[in-house]
Amino acid sequence: MEHSSAIVENSEDYLKVCILILNEVLKEIPICDSYRNFCNLVGRNFMIYSDFEFWFYQLHRFCRGYFYDYDLSADLVPVTIMDMPMEMIQEITRNLDLVELTHLQAMNESFQHMVDSIVLLDSYIDHLKNVTLILNEVLGKKPIFYSYLNFCKLVGENTINYPDFEFLYYRLYRLSRGELNDCDQIINPAPKTLMDMPVSLMYKIIGYLDTVERTYLRSMNRCLKDIADIRPPNFESDECFVKKGMEYLSPVLEMPNLKVNHLSLYIMNGCTYLNDLLPIPFHAKSVSIDSFNIKKSLELLSAMNPGELESIDFSNYDIGYTATREDVLEFYETEQFKQANRVESNIYLYEIDLIKFSHLKTFKFRLNFRELVDFQMIRDMISSFENFESCELKSINNRDGFDMRTVAEDLGAEIPFGPLKTVTHRYQIPESNEYLEFKIEEEESYRLIKIAKVR
């Protein structure tokens, strides 16, 4: 205030400032709007509002023919929020949340001390209320566990944890009987946990847990995992879990408008509750099926909507050994296979079946290692596929003459001398500018042939 008054009274621009304020007076607009216009012209820090108000009304009275020499320095000191009665400030602060109290503490040191004292006082009052409620439970001669339940119903479950409640409960119990108890809770021994239980007792408890409960127990920590793994898993009740799970899953699978990007089906036994797993056509862009036999896998595949299914992963650990020729041909004749873009399987592939793959963009299969493979026939057939992008053919090295050099020679590739790990060969597609790039890799037990079309 002194700063801005000195500027106005001593500055050479005193007359200009008076003219600006007089201009606002003559507009006959509210003083708040006048002050805002004034600050826009000369800056917000040029004159505080109280000084502007003084000069505004002085000039306003002057325009109406009234003038008197008023001494501004004789005014009383303005009253601030710190002059408010403490009782009123306490009442206001009790209605503020933690964030608002933090802002209030940051204003000045007086507010910081005031807020801290109020918070401490409220904490003491809350503690006194809790002690009174616990004392009431003690005098009611109720067991401590039921007393804790009643206490939580009154004040909430997160107010005091059970060890703190137990300490106060027995301390008040001894005081009510005239026994002086000057126990310091800090020096009490650490509370017991589940890991302090005798191991023999833990074994006995684990024996009553089912497979799912033991799985949760194993995930707690390494010690409990080792204890849970000592007893062999019990699968006698797994069928009950499947039945219960299907009660929740079946309504979802029966939703006609349900669409997913990917569906994985992993079924390792013929549980009766999974016989009608997909009762209606299922809408999925990609599916991965692995079941206990190829018949079940074909049944699950037939439930996929062929118009939307783009990718198929039809794998099983022993499907290459257990699937009959009729099973394989049935798989190739499904609408799901005929309309897919990508297929992966460990079914053994014969060269004569490759013609059924002409619609695919990419595929991964095993080659039949029991018979000689005509790699030139494979190359010529794949080169005629218009949609083809890439594929991987895997074969087991289990007989002489079926190694990487043999494959490379059949394809007409140039083979360098010495040991080989990888052979790369390019084959130009007849009457086309496109190429098939062959990359042959050999490991100890298998050989992998990667084929890609290069445009």
User: Which residue from 401, 403, 452 is spatially nearest to 424, judged by alpha carbons?
Assistant: 452
Distance CA 383, CA 427 (A): 9
CA dihedral sign of residues 409, 412, 416, 422: negative
pLDDT of 2 reads 44
pLDDT of 139 reads 85
Q: Give the pair of three-digit tokens for residue 88.
A: 């009123």
Distance CA 153, CA 139 (A): 18
pLDDT of 295 reads 87
Measured in degrees and rounded to the nearest 5, phi and psi for residue 264 equal -110, 130
Distance CA 235, CA 21 (A): 91
- Interstrand relation of 259-267 and 283-291 (parallel, antiparallel or unpaired): parallel
pTM: 0.49
* Residue in the block written with tokens 């023919």: 65
Distance CA 20, CA 401 (A): 105
pLDDT of 370 reads 73
Give the chain's length.
455
pLDDT of 31 reads 85
Q: Give the pair of three-digit tokens for residue 200.
A: 């023999």
pLDDT tens-digit profile, the chain (455 residues): 444 444 445 555 667 777 788 788 888 888 888 888 888 888 877 788 777 888 788 787 777 776 655 555 555 566 666 677 777 777 777 677 656 666 666 666 776 766 666 655 555 556 667 778 888 888 888 888 888 888 888 888 777 788 888 888 888 888 877 776 555 554 455 666 777 778 788 888 877 887 777 777 777 777 777 777 776 655 545 566 677 777 778 888 888 888 999 999 888 776 666 777 888 889 999 999 988 888 888 999 999 999 899 999 997 766 656 778 898 999 999 999 999 999 999 888 888 999 999 999 999 998 877 778 888 999 999 999 999 999 999 887 655 445 778 888 888 888 877 777 888 999 999 888 999 999 988 877 788 899 999 98
Distance CA 374, CA 402 (A): 11
pLDDT of 330 reads 93
CB 169 within 8 A of CB 179: no
**Residue ranges per domain, the chain?**
2-74, 98-187, 194-230, 256-349, 350-455
CB 437 within 8 A of CB 451: yes
| Burial class, 52, CB count within 10 angstroms (exposed 0-12 / middle 13-18 / buried 19+) | buried
CB 441 within 8 A of CB 421: yes
- Interstrand relation of 362-367 and 342-349 (parallel, antiparallel or unpaired): parallel
CB 131 within 8 A of CB 109: no
